[in-house]
Structure 1
Amino acid sequence: MKVLVIGNGGREHALVWKLLQSKNVRQVICVPGNGGTAAMADCQNMPMSVDDFEGISRFALVQGINLVVVGPEVPLALGITDRLEQQKIKVFGPTQVGAQIEASKTWAKTLMKEANVPTANWASFTKEQRDEARAYLTMTGVPVVIKADGLAAGKGVTIADTLEQAQTAVDAAFKGQFGKAGHSVVIEEYLTGQEVSVLALTDGTTTIPLLSAQDHKPIGEGDTGPNTGGMGVYAPTPLVSPELMTRIQKDILEPTVAALQERGIDYRGVLYAGLTISDDGNPKVLEFNCRFGDPETQAILPLLETPLDELLMACVQKRLDALPPIKWKSGSAVCVVMASGGYPGAYEKGKEISGIAEAEDDEDVTVFHAGTSLKRQQLVTSGGRVLGVTAIGETFDGAISKAYSAIERIEFENSYYRRDIGYRIRQ
């Protein structure tokens, strides 16, 4: 089969990499792809915008694409699945109405309330309700979380420790800091505990969770500084026991899919729950996402033994319940992100990258490209998060040691990475 993957980040490189390991997949085309996908055998980059739905649709039909896998949330929120399905093209990823579970936090919170899914207490306000939002902040007190309602590229969340910080965050959102995404905000109770990611596959009826993972969002070691798209991740996390995963499935994932069904939404794709696990072991939803996580995917897929294409196609064809249990490798996977200096603020592009081949001399190491491109056959940086260096090992310590040893072989000017990925497990 021929598969088309939409996106250009580390998540998409990992999807291509795993798809090409299947005997069923003979070619993958990536739109637009990156320097890593460009160098892969049996993969072709297609320089096309991810929101050029008409062009993507025509290309898929002409090329005889058997399955389209959508990586990022923005094209899903804009309705790429709806457009492709109109042309009878098979797509892994929810329709536009289903993607609201990530595209609108107010919509998602309302759905959770209907489904009786545990989440933080919250209230939603539009920019015309600025005074009401300020009054609500005064009533609830701090710490408190302010979230832009729409898609803000992972930068729309503020944890405020003072009332002044909270009011400033609300005002900034209403004044256009996040564009249309901040025209309305969700003010949310601050939850204590550790954050975990649980990505589940669903065909709209059956829901199967993948391995749990723990991301490291802040740029600084010890989880300090501003949030990023993710600076590293490990899977599975020992914080989520088999018993807790069963509880998450029964109390969170399945009721959410059932609530979507009740609204007449045929949700097929990834249902990604960002959770807080309290000190007494109770899970609550921080947010839902409508796609594979990044960088979670770079740690989960290396441990997957079941062919990925079989799982994705089963979701699309609504026969997930007929598949045998997913097979996983034993051990752990750790992904450490190498970023451009200055990220998540301003950073320079076009820095030459070397040492990736040497890093991958260890068969347990795979380097996933996120912000890279090829210029005159030279690999250079083109984004804030540049590489995701992933290693697997029988033990967590073994995997993390391999990942950092591999990083030492990779060079590009002004590179930055956290040296404490996985510190929670090592405490």
Structure 2
Amino acid sequence: MTSPVRVIVVGAGCRGQIYARFAVIHPERMQVVGVADPRKFACTELRLRHDILDENIFEDWHRVTEREKFADAVLICTPDRLHKEPAVAFAMKGYHILLEKPMATTAEDCMAIVEACKQSGVMLSVGHVLRYDPLIHQIKELIDAGVIGDLVHIQHLEPVGFYHFAHSFVRGNWRNESESSCSLLAKSCHDIDLIHHWAGLRRCIKVSSFGSLSHFRKESKPAGAGDRCLDCSIEKDCPYSACKIYLDRVKQGNTGWLVSIICENSHPDIESVTEVLRTGPYGRCVYECDNDVCSNQVVNLEFEGGVTAAFTMVAFTEKVCHRKTTIYGSKGELSYDGDEIRVFDFLTHGATKYTPPADAHRHFGMTGHGGADYHLMEAFISAVANNDPSLIRSGPEETLVSHLLVFEAEHSRRESRVVHLENF
């Protein structure tokens, strides 16, 4: 394609806006030509930034599919439980699809999306942005190159971050499974996907999981605490205070992630954030919310050939999503601390370090996930422009398998049993 890839943004929240920024960086490669979102403010933000025609602004994505096809691809960034219907509908209209993770919240919906894309012959890229992180991608290359010999064991940690968990999984959109999904799917499908990816072509044969909701419960509420942080007499002694997490950021001039999330209908300032905390869900005491998703969980997996993996997700950490990985092989050990890779060779006793490219974090507003947001979009737009699905690292079939592993892990946790995957 010699002209820019035309895209429609369905769901103009945080992720939709971030992915759309690729068109600002590379207007010669991508053009945002439409947006669908019931929130007027969100649509207006994208309309002004991308000069979208008024006729291509929609409150309801269904109206987009009623029109003749007027773009090449669609970026679906709706809430998790609202992924399946638009994904299937846009696939049937012939749009290539970038679908924010998780693919969907049930195995049946995930399979329906993959089948619709296959039937329609459209490309599907799922927003597993970590696949596109330059260093994490290099881990896969080093394993495949045999630098640590035969793969034996993978140990992987996701430290969610104490205030991030309070924001997203106690007060926020992913707090209640009936309204969103389990935290393993919403937060850590990235990580199960990476483990499955690193394991290569080996089939997973067993999975077990344990986890629960810790601390963020009514019985943990300190004596004298109020129901809202603005009215709480002991707020200053609480690390999860909404005043600390949101108001202090605004006072310091930080109106980016977290603060921008809670102000859906205006640009954040002291007045608007204070009002949100006074009346909305983000001002609630963390011990008085309707949250029910796990705050800590482990998943153990066994793959063909005896390869094992152990994953840990925990809310109560200093680091925010700064993942740590150690991969053990027959000839060496590979460790990743979120900043660099270190490979120790058992034969020479020497260690080799790998660091990210100098420009990995310099992508003009798309620095999230170590620059991986940019690389995800670069791959998807290149795939559409060149009609080359091989450029997509998080395609339909492999992503479906990693999602099914998440669902099986949840079956294990809920049923307190090891799940055997003979026919997986």
Rg larger for: 2
**Which protein has the bigger strand share?**
1
- Give me the TM-score of the superposition, normalised by structure 1: 0.32
With the length of structure 2 as denominator, give the TM-score of the two structures.
0.32
The structure whose RCO (Cα within 8 Å, separation 6+) is larger is 2
More helix as a share of residues: 2
